[in-house]
Amino acid sequence: MNRPMRALESSWKWAVQTARLCCGVPDYDAYVKHLREHHPEREVPSYKEFFRERQVARYKGTGGRCC
């Protein structure tokens, strides 16, 4: 892949992530990466489990972040 295409792809990923965060949609890939790097003993939840847990945390006020 040439350099302009990589830059375009990178910009697109950034824009999608920003839009998701603005709408309150969590970034599953970033969460999985965080778990693997900082909590290797934990099982990685499915996207459905992850999304549900984030909804509960957001709308029920069950606490903050782990790190």
The tens digit of pLDDT for each residue in 10-44 reads 899 888 888 877 876 778 888 999 999 999 999 99
Residue 52 pLDDT greater than 60, yes or no: yes
15 within a domain of the structure (yes/no): no
3-class DSSP assignment, residue 13: helix
Number of domains forming the structure of the chain: 1
Q: Where are the alpha helices (DSSP H) in the chain?
A: 3-23, 28-38, 47-60
| Residue span of the structural domain in which 49 resides | 25-67
Beta-carbon neighbour count of residue 17 at 10 Å? Answer: 14
Structure tokens at 7: 């830059």
Query: Is residue 16 situated within a structural domain?
Result: no
Q: What is the pTM of this model?
A: 0.57
59 belongs to a structural domain: yes
Three-state DSSP class for residue 34: helix
Q: Token pair for residue 22?
A: 């603005």
Residue 1 in domain: no
